[in-house]
A and B are shown apart, each in its own frame.
Chain A
Amino acid sequence: MEQALVVSTMQLLSQILVNGVLLGGLYALMALGLALVWGVLNIVNLAHGALIMLGAYVGYYLFTLLNIDPFLALPLSMAVLFCVGYLLQRGILNLIARAAMFNTLLITFGIDVVLTQLAQIFFSADFRTINPSYAGSNFMVFGVTLPLVRVLAFVVALALTIALWLFLLHTRLGRAIRATAQNLGAARLYGVEPKAIYALTFGLGAALAGGAGDLYGVVSQINPYIGATLTAKSFAIAIIGGLESPLGVVVGGIFLGVVESLTALYIGPTFVDIASFGILVLVLIFRPNGLLGATT
Chain B
Amino acid sequence: MTLRFKFILGVAAALMLATLPWFASPTLIQFGISTLLLATLAQGWNIIGGFTGYASFGNSEFFGLGSYGTAIAMVQWQLPFGVGLIFGVLLSVIFALVVGIPVLRLRGHYFAIATLALSQVMTAIVSNLEVAGRNTGLVLPLLNGDTLFYELSLAVLLLATLTVLWISNSRFGFGLIAIRENEDAAASMGVNTTLYKVLAFALAGVFSALAGGIHAYWITFIDPVSAFDLSLNVKMIIMTVFGGPGSVLGPVIGAFVLSGISETLSTEISSLANLFFGVVIVAAVVFMPRGLADLMRRFRKTGWRYFSENVKQHRL
Contact = CB atoms under 8 A, between A and B. Distances in A.
Contacts of A38: 109
Interface string B242-284: 0000000000000000000000000001011011011111100
Q: Determine chain A's interface SS by DSSP, over half rule.
A: helix
Interface residues of A, number: 49
A95 interface: yes
Given A109-B281, A118-B275, A99 B314 contact: yes
Interface in B45-61: 53, 55, 57
B289 A103 contact: yes
A122 B164 CA distance: 41
Given A101-B108, A117-B274, A96 B103 contact: no
A285 B316 contact: no
Given A107-B285, A284-B110, A285-B105, A113 B116 contact: no
Candidate in B53, B277, B311, B314 with the most chain A CB atoms within 10 angstroms:
B314
A194 interface: yes
B120 A229 contact: yes
A46 B113 CA distance: 9
Given A273-B124, A274-B124, A281-B118, A117 B271 contact: yes
Interface in A12-48: 38, 44, 46
Contacts, number: 140
Nearest to A42: B109
A252 to B, nearest CB: 14
Contacts of B118: 277, 281
Interface in A121-159: 121
Interface string B102-133: 11011011101110111011001101100000
B113 A110 contact: no
Interface residues of B, number: 46
A120 B274 CA distance: 10
A227 to B, nearest CB: 11
Contact of A288 (B106, B128, B230, B275): B106
B56 to A, nearest CB: 11
Contact of A285 (B106, B128, B230, B238): B106
Interface stretch (A69-77, A160-168, A231-239): A231-239
B286 interface: yes
Given A110-B282, A118-B275, A285-B106, A96 B120 contact: no
B90 interface: no
B279 A114 contact: yes
Interface of B: 53, 55, 57, 102-103, 105-106, 108-110, 112-114, 116-118, 120-121, 124-125, 127-128, 230, 234, 237-238, 241, 269, 271-272, 274-275, 277-282, 285-286, 289, 311, 313-316
